[in-house]
A and B are shown apart, each in its own frame.
Chain A
Amino acid sequence: MSSTPTLPRDMRNTVLPGHAACHGCPIPMGLKVVGAVFGDKVILVVPACCTSVVLGMHPGTAFNGSVIHVAFASAAAVASGISAGLFKRGVRGVQVVAWAGDGGTADIGMASLSGAAERNDDFIYVMYDNEAYMNTGIQRSSATPAGAWTTTTPLGKKESKKDVTKILIAHGVPYVATASIAYPHDFYNKLKKAAGIRGFKFIYLHAPCPVGWRFDPSLTVKVAKLAVETGMIILYEYYDGKIHISGPSRPLLDKSRRRPLIEYLKFQGRFHGISEGELRNLESYVDSSWEWVKKFMQ
């Protein structure tokens, strides 16, 4: 964590109490950091996902900024249009943030996301990853990790997690980063840095969901921390053609400093009863992610 002891006060005022999220939901934790960075000078573009529900229904909204709820596949396209419109009208100092789930990013929104990245449109895209379609009842997405139970993978998902961050790096955009709701200062710094860069910025945000992952709602932050400490999720930034590893993940370049993966899995009902083979499979997924990161650090 950075040396900053607290986040700015706007964190308190941006996500209003009495919203519709489940107990221990990671989404408002992430949105509070967005609020800490931008205050109400932000326009969120939200496709269908848990966030649409969390923020509540007309005539109220729990987000003390501007929000546009849009059709599923269109978040990046709408954000492109708003950012271009603001620019033409000479409106400065308002940040456009597309805020979409893993389903809305890795699967359904991929085409419009790729288009916006290729055009280098000027906004920040945040993919909050709760690793399944939670809003509609925990169906697998391409970002669900192998071995995880969902309602559409009752025996555990067979395929590996799609790494969207890598795909965005391949687009050659100016800034790509990974973050976690357990490290709000790190996420804060990354949003700040992204806001200072013109063009397309992508931030992946790991967001453990107590309901879909089957863990106690008090453990959201703990599970998110364990994902980083076991090396399952690697925090880094990509700019100037290189990966720059972030503070919480840096010591874990040394594999012996990583906690055993099982410490992360054991709190989650979705991994109960995974086989030895599936565990090995996940471990080698982690190892190969690290090898890939190391290659791009040079």
Chain B
Amino acid sequence: MSNLTKKAKSLHKIPIARPSIGVAGRTGTWRWMKPVVDLSKCTKCYQCEIYCPDNSISVEALKGAVVNYEYCKGCGVCAEVCPAKAISMVEEEQHGP
């Protein structure tokens, strides 16, 4: 590193953003419909996990599809793509945070 670069580095902190979960907050609070998985029907085909725009449903090898309600927005894509019809969208009892 040249002296000049060293000096520049010590004088300026570049405001680099870091990858982080929840950049838009706990997006689970955006939900008005909630996906509920019937694990007895889940064939672990991964379709829901592949398409979920929020990476909020993942297939666990032994169990099946598990939803992360902290961030799931309740869009219903997973229920729509599930070939086994293992996911139903049910109304949230409580709206908002």
A side interface size, CB within 8 A: 40
A29 at the interface (CB under 8 A from B): yes
Which interface residue of A11, A17, A29 has the most chain B CB atoms within 10 A?
A17
Q: Which residue of the partner chain A has the closest CB to B73?
A: A23
Give the distance to chain B from A10, nearest Cβ to Cβ, in Å: 11
User: CB-CB < 8 A to B96: which residues of A?
Assistant: none
A203 to B48, CA, bound (A): 25
Give the distance to chain B from A38, nearest Cβ to Cβ, in Å: 14
Q: Would you give the 0/1 interface string for A23-55, flagging 1 where the beta carbon is closer than 8 Å to chain B?
A: 111111100100000000000000000000001
Q: A21-B53, A24-B53, A26-B53 are in contact. Are A16 and B75 (CB under 8 A)?
A: no
Partner of A20, one of B24, B49, B74: B24
User: CB-CB < 8 A to A11: which residues of B?
Assistant: 49-50
The 3 A-B residue pairs with the shortest CB-CB distance, nearest first, are A56-B23, A218-B76, A18-B22
Give the distance to chain B from A272, nearest Cβ to Cβ, in Å: 21
A63 to B25, CA, bound (A): 15
> In the complex the two chains form, is A24's CB within 8 Å of B77's CB?
yes
A23 to B34, CA, bound (A): 12
User: CB-CB < 8 A to B50: which residues of A?
Assistant: 6-7, 11, 32, 184
Q: Which residue of the partner chain B has the closest CB to A57?
A: B23
Q: Which residue of the partner chain B has the closest CB to A224?
A: B51
A74 to B24, CA, bound (A): 27
> In the complex the two chains form, is A28's CB within 8 Å of B53's CB?
yes
Partner of A60, one of B19, B27, B54, B55: B19
> In the complex the two chains form, is A19's CB within 8 Å of B77's CB?
no
> In the complex the two chains form, is B23's CB within 8 Å of A221's CB?
no
User: CB-CB < 8 A to A28: which residues of B?
Assistant: 53-55
A32 to B54, CA, bound (A): 10
User: CB-CB < 8 A to A89: which residues of B?
Assistant: none
User: CB-CB < 8 A to A67: which residues of B?
Assistant: 17
Q: A16-B20, A67-B17 are in contact. List 15 more A-B contacts (CB 8 A).
A: A6-B49, A6-B50, A7-B50, A12-B49, A17-B22, A17-B27, A17-B55, A17-B71, A18-B27, A24-B53, A29-B51, A55-B23, A56-B23, A60-B18, A217-B75
Q: Which residue of the partner chain A has the closest CB to B49?
A: A12
Q: Would you give the 0/1 interface string for B64-83, flagging 1 where the beta carbon is closer than 8 Å to chain A?
A: 00001011111111011100
Q: Would you give the 0/1 interface string for A258-284, flagging 1 where the beta carbon is closer than 8 Å to chain B?
A: 000000000000000000000000000
Between-chain CB contacts (< 8 Å), 9 pairs? A15-B55, A18-B24, A18-B71, A23-B76, A59-B15, A60-B22, A62-B24, A218-B77, A220-B77
Question: Within residues 5 to 36 of chain B, which ones have a CB less than 8 A from any CB in chain A?
Answer: 15, 17-27, 30
